[in-house]
Chain A
């Protein structure tokens, strides 16, 4: 592996973004974005395989030594997040070619793809960095780009959704910044490894405590963990369809990564869950979240809003796994980060296809949908199985792992609640599937009888994502072992021995 790959991973999309703006050409900017993204994805795969075979990578940006300079710290967990984020971004980017043409005016395409690349840069930067302040910087990069992307939505309500997200997101980011500031005051360092070393011995434990609380709330807002999720449904509903598919698989997942990194690696498992009783905060939030949000999703008529609420619910599963704070629970949480990203992005893509062809995603107004768009409907139903947790889909793997983890700690009631929430998922997926399969058109019009499927450039990436999902649903050991490795790394704190440099 080339030594500079971790830096190029970030730099390539970062420099490609201004290129898009300079070209000011719709197709050219898409091509640039695609190439940059493809490179990032490839580099991320290289990094992941390197980390898994040779151990942790520590890269010094600009050659500056760690405490003074910024360091990239890559272990299994963030390497996996890098692959996930760049991979989903790449697939959705291919998909976005047509939807963007339809939803964003042609004169703004270069800005759209520039924002996309900046968002990707930010998300990957958060994942890759080993510097606490750098996390905040990249968080802002990705957030600002995300606000822009959402505001490209065709519906004018996209603007209010953006504004709401802007306020909430800024509050979250400021909280994280304040928290990092307190940490700096208490320890005199921003490097994550140094932080982890110095926090236990810090003389101002009160400052650490305040930092912990601020970061906790800030990250929960960014990750849309119930009850701090209010920005998410509108943002997902009114953003351009490709953006929703992109964000649903990446943005909240990266925030969850930040949560894992701070609570397990920096503050340490003992401090977060032993002293600060984080389980007591996260577990109730997670449980109420997945129960209530699944219930709310049942009553949504707009497919995207339904999926948005379902996202919050599914995040609840992840948080529940994390809150169990055991090897098994953490593995279940991490594996669901990956699995849910695959499933939810595919679902939003299929809804995007429907919107592309029919112009809306309002369930009661569908008619003859299966006749018109059979491939899209099948894609939705298969991915929907993933939400419910039908065997041979990824949802089953994560649900199984999560239930097993909760039984391991004798939390049988948690297992019951998870199953109740799965049944609600069954209801909301089945309601859509039923309308797709059985609702006939009230009057026979030419456009409602013939087949009018979305273009191939949308179907192929969607089915690619579904195929990846099915693969990991059947070969669950692959993701589970990866997540298990990441979980044990998190529980044991930072690894000091270096693989290189």
Chain B
């Protein structure tokens, strides 16, 4: 299966979305779900091809004389593609409940930009070279901008300014020169197993500088000090925060980084040259500080956003440790964190729709009103913390193992410390919801069930279940990760 097909469903559905519009919204959303299923099917076919030993790739399109746009499927990309397309379907179902329940405006524009962003995410997932990746990266930034500023007004305008400002500035100022530099020293932009910089004749200092340009240039990975855009983006409707700012956009960032580390630098080049030496502390710093900041946030979505920043820094750390085990853990964490965090965001949105509450301090006792939602929230929290029986346990284990592999245990210690902080800022929410009495109820009165619309609930249960399944059956994923060619 040509990976180019993955661009077709999300792009082809846009005319339908615009045509059906607000007046025939059932058809509009139905067409999106169909497109999502088609996309999932295509990704699955690519997966089958890859497992059968093939190397699905598209033709080349020369953007400039020597550099072309090209897609090809390698294990990391297939994992990311499957993940994003699966969660797109789930999120669309969720959006139907959320957007209608919340009576959002401009839903047609919302779905259009969403589909466009998904197409770009597919482009990033299957990018065969740095140029393709960069193009997809920028298209994602631009197509998600209208989603961030969706609600309009002063707050959205400010958030949009921060969002576009940081993402565009870093990509132009750091990422683009890094890419052109790579191309000019190695003569190619292609992703090659083992990297292209081995014989490029760069000094260790130059390699470290180049890696820094890549790491900070990909601000979508939320590494401090270029993380401010992520909390700012939380003004968007919850489905956007859930799919794009917990999965698609931010994961494109760390995914790009993992790909660059594996296929542009090569993990051996990084570990031998010590290029990541100065960057590892930045990732460690981000992990710890983001957790502390999350602790201080009372707004649920803001707390989750800072939690995401911390969790993304795990993956950045994993990439920078540059051992087979840590990078595998990083890839795995993309999936595990995605399911955990999307569950949490879904729950946050469900609470907003059903009870109109967004502050953690007001969540006392809502576990009795929304038992399913809060149950799922608990499972999602476990996954983020990295406790069994949720998937997050595996990836955290691997990244920590990678830290031992690289010969320093300090990063493993930071991971464990961060785990404690995760417990401290996530579990109290569940505790509050289930154990504290509801202040709005008189003594002796029983809470009535007021769950979110069925479409929302269905999505929440599905992702929470998936989190557990990923703990029990990580084997297919591990097989795929095992197929990555490191050298």
> Is A22 on the interface with B (CB-CB < 8 A)?
no
A140 to B62, CA, bound (A): 42
Contact assessment for B180 and A403 in the assembled complex, using a CB-CB cutoff below 8 Å:
yes
Hey, which chain B residues are within 8 Å of A420, CB to CB? 173
Let me know if B64 and A397 touch, CB within 8 A. Answer: yes
Specify which chain A residues have a CB less than 8 angstroms from the CB of B173 in the assembled complex.
Answer: 419-420, 423
Say yes or no for A438: interface residue by CB 8 A criterion: yes
Within 8 Å CB of B177, what residues of A? 403, 415-416, 419
A400 to B182, CA, bound (A): 13
Does B323 make an interface contact (CB < 8 A)?
no
Contact B138 A391 (CB under 8 A): yes
Contacts of B29-73 to chain A: CB distance below 8 A: 61-65
Per the 8 Å Cβ criterion, residues 299-350 of A in contact with B are: none
Contact assessment for B168 and A407 in the assembled complex, using a CB-CB cutoff below 8 Å = no
Q: How far is A163 from B283 in the complex, measured between Cα atoms in Å?
A: 60
Assess A480 versus B135: contact at CB under 8 Å? Given A416-B177, A423-B172. Answer: no
List, in ascending order, chain A residues with CB within 8 A of B172's CB.
388-389, 419, 422-423, 426
Task: State the A residues within 8 Å of B (CB).
Answer: 385, 388-392, 397, 400-401, 403-404, 407-408, 415-416, 419-420, 422-423, 426, 430, 434, 437-438, 474-477, 480-481, 484
Distance (whole angstroms) from the CB of A40 to the closest CB of chain B: 30
Residue contact A401 to B64, C-beta cutoff 8 Å = yes
1/0 per residue B162-173: CB within 8 Å of A? 001100110011
User: Which 6 residue pairs of A and B lie closest in terms of their CB atoms, listed nearest first?
Assistant: A391-B135, A438-B157, A477-B62, A407-B184, A476-B64, A391-B138
Residues in A with CB closer than 8 Å to B168 are 388, 426
Q: Of the candidates B64, B161, B180, which one forms a contact with A477 in the assembled complex, judged by CB atoms under 8 Å apart?
A: B64
What residue of chain A has the Cβ atom nearest to residue B174's Cβ? A419
B138 and A480 form a contact (CB under 8 A) = no
Instruction: Among B142, B149, B183, point to the contact of A437 (Cβ < 8 A).
Output: B149
Chain B residue numbers with a CB within 8 Å of A403 are 176-177, 180
In the complex the two chains form, is B64's CB within 8 Å of A484's CB?
no
Q: Is the Cβ of B184 less than 8 Å from the Cβ of A404?
A: yes
Contacts of A392 on B, CB cut-off 8 Å? 135, 138-139
Q: Please pick, from B63, B142, B152, B181, the residue contacting A397 in the complex, using a CB distance under 8 A.
A: B63
B339 contacts partner chain A, Cβ-Cβ < 8 Å: no
Q: Could you tell me which B residues sit within 8 Å of A by CB distance?
A: 61-65, 131, 134-135, 138-139, 142, 149, 152-153, 156-157, 160-161, 164-165, 168-169, 172-173, 176-177, 180-181, 183-184
B61 CB contacts on chain A under 8 angstroms: 474
Across the interface, do A438 and B65 meet the contact criterion of CB distance under 8 Å? no
**Min CB–CB distance A477 → chain B (angstroms):** 4
Contact in complex: B63, A477 (CB < 8 Å): yes
> Are A426 and B63 neighbours in the complex by a CB distance under 8 Å?
no
Chain A residue contacts of B165, Cβ below 8 A: 430
Residues of A within 8 A of B157 (CB): 434, 438
Q: List 16 A-B contacts (CB under 8 A).
A: A388-B168, A390-B138, A391-B135, A392-B138, A397-B63, A397-B64, A404-B183, A407-B180, A407-B181, A423-B173, A434-B157, A434-B160, A474-B61, A477-B64, A480-B64, A481-B65
**A435–B87 CA distance with the chains assembled, in angstroms:** 34
Q: Which residues of A contact B156 (CB under 8 A)?
A: 438
- CA A408 – CA B183 in complex, angstroms? 11
User: Quick check: B65 and A419 within 8 Å, CB to CB?
Assistant: no
Q: Is the CB of A400 within 8 A of B135?
A: no
CB neighbours of A437 from chain B (8 A): 149
Interface centre among B149, B160, B169, B184 (most CB of A within 10 A): B184
Chain A residues with CB under 8 Å of B164's CB are 430
Q: Contacts A390-B138, A391-B134, A403-B177 hold; do A480 and B183 have CB atoms under 8 A apart? A: no
**B184 contacts which chain A residues (CB < 8 A)?**
404, 407-408
Residues of B within 8 A of A476 (CB): 62-64
* Nearest chain B residue, comparing its CB with the CB of A402: B180
Residues from chain A with a CB closer than 8 A to the CB of B176 are 400, 403, 419
CB closest residue in chain A, given B161? A434
| Residues on A with beta carbons closer than 8 Å to the beta carbon of B62 | 475-477
> In the bound complex, how far is the Cα of B180 from the Cα of A438, in angstroms?
35
Assembled-state Cα–Cα distance A426/B161 (Å)? 11
Measured between C-beta atoms, what is the minimum distance from B69 to chain A in Å? Answer: 9
Q: If A408-B184, A438-B157 touch, does A474 touch B63 (CB 8 Å cutoff)?
A: yes
> Bound state CA distance, A397 and B161, in angstroms?
26
Q: Hey, which chain B residues are within 8 Å of A422, CB to CB?
A: 172
Q: How far is the CA of A422 from the CA of B172 in the complex (A)?
A: 8
Task: Report the Cα distance A422→B61, complex, angstroms.
Answer: 26
Q: Are B65 and A484 within 8 A (Cβ)?
A: yes
Tell me how far the C-beta of B156 lies from the nearest C-beta in chain A, rounded to whole angstroms: 8
B398 vs chain A, min Cβ distance (A): 34
Q: Are B142 and A477 neighbours in the complex by a CB distance under 8 Å? A: no
Measured between beta carbons, the chain A residues less than 8 angstroms from B161 are: 430, 434
Q: Which residues of B contact A408 (CB under 8 A)?
A: 184
- Taken together as a complex, chains A and B put the C-alpha atoms of A400 and B169 apart, in Å, by 16
Closest to B179 in A: A400
On whether the beta carbons of A390 and B64 are closer than 8 Å, the reply is: no
Query: Are B135 and A477 in contact, with the CB atoms below 8 A?
Result: no
Partner of B180, one of A404, A426, A480: A404
Complex: chain A residue closest to B137, CB-CB = A391
Report whether A438 and B181 are in contact in the complex, using a CB–CB cutoff of 8 Å. Answer: no
User: How many Å lie between the Cα of A407 and that of B181 in the bound state?
Assistant: 7
Q: Which residues of chain B are near A480, meaning CB under 8 Å? A: 64-65
Bound Cα distance from A401 to B63, whole angstroms = 12
17 more contacts with CB within 8 A, not counting A403-B176, A476-B63, are A388-B168, A392-B139, A397-B63, A400-B64, A400-B180, A403-B177, A404-B180, A407-B184, A408-B184, A419-B173, A422-B172, A423-B169, A426-B169, A426-B172, A430-B164, A434-B160, A475-B63
In the bound complex, residues from chain B placing their C-beta under 8 Å from that of A423 are 169, 172-173
State how many angstroms separate the Cβ of A353 from the closest Cβ of chain B.
22
Closest to A399 in B: B176
Q: Which residue of chain A has its CB nearest to the CB of B153?
A: A438
Query: Residues of B contacting A389 with CB < 8 Å?
Result: 172
User: Using Cβ atoms and an 8 Å threshold, which residues of chain A touch B160?
Assistant: 434, 438
Give Cα A279 to B153, complex, Å: 50
- Distance of A434 from chain B, by nearest CB (Å): 7
Minimum distance in angstroms from A92 CB to a CB of chain B: 28
Among A407, A408, A420, A481, chain B packs the most CB atoms within 10 A around the CB of A407
CA distance in complex: A476, B135 (Å):
14
Closest-CB distance, B282 to chain A (whole angstroms): 22
Closest to B132 in A: A391
Q: Are A390 and B142 in contact (CB under 8 A)?
A: yes
- Complex Cα–Cα for A407 and B186 (A): 13
Q: Taking the nearest CB of chain A, how far is it from the CB of B124, in angstroms? A: 12
Docked pose: A456 CA to B181 CA in angstroms? 45
In the complex, the chain B residue whose C-beta lies closest to that of A426 is B168
Q: How far is the CA of A137 from the CA of B357 in the complex (A)?
A: 76
* Chain B positions within 8 Å of A475 at CB level: 62-63
Q: A residues within 8 A CB of B153?
A: 438
Report how far A66 CA is from B185 CA in the complex, Å: 48
Docked-complex contact A415 and B180, CB < 8 angstroms:
yes
Which A residues are CB-close (under 8 A) to B169?
Answer: 423, 426
Chain A residue with the shortest CB-CB distance to B176? A419
B204 to chain A, nearest CB (A): 18
In the complex the two chains form, what is the Cα distance from A392 to B135 in whole Å? 7
Residue of A nearest to B164 (CB): A430
Name the CB-closest residue of B to A403.
B180
Min distance, Cβ B85 to any Cβ of chain A, angstroms? 23
**A residues in contact with B63, CB < 8 Å:** 397, 474-477
- Report B-chain residues with C-beta under 8 Å of the C-beta of A416: 177
Bound-complex Cα distance A397 to B69 (A): 13
B152 lies within 8 A of A438 (CB): yes
B446 CB to nearest chain A CB (Å): 46
Decide: A438 and B149 in contact? CB cutoff 8 A.
yes
- Shortest CB-to-CB span from B187 to chain A, Å, is 11
Distance of A419 Cα from B176 Cα, bound (Å):
9
Which residue on B lies nearest to A408, using beta carbons?
B184
Of all chain A residues, the one with the shortest Cβ separation from B131 is: A391
- CB contacts (< 8 Å) of A474 on chain B: these are 61, 63
Residues in B with CB closer than 8 Å to A430 are 161, 164-165
